[in-house]
Amino acid sequence: FFAVKTISLSKLRLQRDFQRIADKLNREVQILFKLRHPRIVSLFDVIEEHDKLHLVMELVDGGPEGIELFDYIVSRGSFTEPVARYVFLQIVDGLAFIHMKDIVYRDLKPENILVDEKASRREEGLFEVKLSDFGHSKLINDGYSTALTRVGTPQYWAPEVNDPVKAARGYDQTVDLWSLGVVLYVMLIGAYPFDGVGQPIEEQIRKARFNFRSQARGGQECSPQAQDLIRSLIRVDPKQRLKLDACRTHSWAALPGGILGGGQVNFAQADESRVEEERIRL
């Protein structure tokens, strides 16, 4: 089955910032057409009809908690380490493919990670996920395009995005590594590492200081291995952030439950042409 996202162009034209919205939509469409991967929501077709635009996309069915990973975190307070590990490695696989296509995600967060309930192993408490919403993503290394603007969600911003001066100089895919560390923190702790409480969030991000005390888990901290992985990603210096390949082989990821399906799958080599076309569910 497919999902059809219908956008009213006539209503969009009434918006003051129509051009910005149109540019964002066009960017998302162009990027999604380049991405065919098991961990990414696929766009199959774009149909323009009168004043409407129809995006024919992969259908992702959520569960009782909702469809966004964020809903599942809120429902549980936080994830156990085996569950977080299983989800984390899927995100790494999807992100690696995105980066291989010279794309900066720029808005990696649980709200943009969808849970595929039908494919999930609920009896084991394990979720299959897919990355979505590429409206803030940007192609780089194309000879003329550089990521310069402050986009995304502040709680997940890397310092070079958070600082307007640094953002104006440009940044690369390493901003996604910082966000990946924040996503893992949120899954395990059930709170943001940088929340603006006590001091401005910009200052918290600039210093990259946080602790691992989880209110949702009775004040217990996550394991030293998990803390090490998170700290290896949430680093002020972009060059020091742990690379995605190293995330896969980190000691925390190698623990039981850290290997997907009994063996690490290299989804970057996945066959992009394998698309099972059935019918459109309207």
Q: Where are the alpha helices (DSSP H) in 101-217?
A: 159-162, 164-169, 174-189, 201-207
**Measured distance CA(92)–CA(180) in Å, rounded:** 8
Q: Is 144 exposed, middle or buried (0-12, 13-18, 19+ CB in 10 A)?
A: exposed
Q: Using the structure block, give the residue that is written with the tokens 């192993």.
A: 121
| CA distance linking residue 274 with residue 58, whole number of Å | 13
Instruction: Show the beta-strand stretches assigned E in 134-273.
Output: 138-139
Query: For the range 14-17, what are the long-range contacts, defined as Cβ-Cβ under 8 Å and sequence gap of 24 or more?
Result: none
Q: CB burial class (10 A; 0-12, 13-18, 19+) of residue 103?
A: buried
Is 23 annotated as catalytic? no
- Spot the catalytic one: 23, 61, 102, 107: 107
Distance (Å, whole) CA 126 – CA 114: 13
Q: Which residues are catalytic?
A: 107
